[in-house]
Amino acid sequence: MEKFEKFSGVAAPMPLVNIDTDMIIPKNFLKTIKRSGLGVHAFAEMRYNQDGSEVADFVLNQPAYRDAQILVAGDNFGCGSSREHAPWALADFGIKVVVSTSFADIFFNNCFKNGMLPIVLPQEQVDLLMKDAEKGSNARMDVDLESQTITTSEGEVISFEVDAFKKHCLLNGLDDIGLTLENASSIDAYEAKMSAQRPWV
């Protein structure tokens, strides 16, 4: 998993509340177990017409937000069914940060395991970031995980909280497999010991 440290990116405003996982990636795209290739289907039912053409007024179809890496969203983002395809789709689209007043627990944890940073902030700070995001592609936000800050295009700094262990994993690019491989030498030593003690196994 790619390390997450700091970056500057365009933020897209998505003020809709209760954006659930079926809205993020509709169920008909859940047949794959690959993490790549899902970005084109992110928000498919809001993003495309039935004939496959783009919905012009959907935020991520607008020129200013096609390369957005931050979503500033309404309350209760990622609710609904616990499909890991939802963070896969967002990550494949290019989203690195989602800001909201609250997240569904399973989606929240899956974000960290897929290299994304979900940030919970009070409503007034989300409103401030939403307003900043509405300025378009010239209004870039800076996100610094080490210092746990978001800096708006106007230079206003907002601090956020993040679990220390989850922060460690993102900063070092460690998913569940990476965490296990950190103990590879101990695992190898244990397996060698067990092979010597129980050669018949």
Please indicate, yes or no, if residue 51 is contained in any of the structural domains: yes
Domain membership flag for residue 197: no
Kindly calculate the radius of gyration of the chain based on its CA atoms and give it in whole angstroms.
19
User: What's the domain range around 83?
Assistant: 6-172
**Residue 194 in domain:** no
pLDDT (tens digit per residue) in 69-127: 999 999 999 999 888 899 999 999 999 999 999 999 999 999 999 999 999 999 999 99
- Is residue 14 assigned to a domain? yes
The answer as to whether 193 is a domain residue is: no
Domain assignment present for residue 183? The answer is: no
Q: What is the pLDDT of residues 13-42, one digit of tens each?
A: 999 999 999 999 998 888 777 778 899 999
As for how many domains the chain has, the answer is 1
Q: The domain that contains 112 carries what CATH number?
A: 3.20.19.10
Is residue 173 within 8 Å of 115, Cβ to Cβ? yes
pTM of the complete model? 0.87
User: 158 in a domain, yes or no?
Assistant: yes
The answer to whether residue 167 is domain-embedded is yes
Give the pLDDT of residue 182: 62
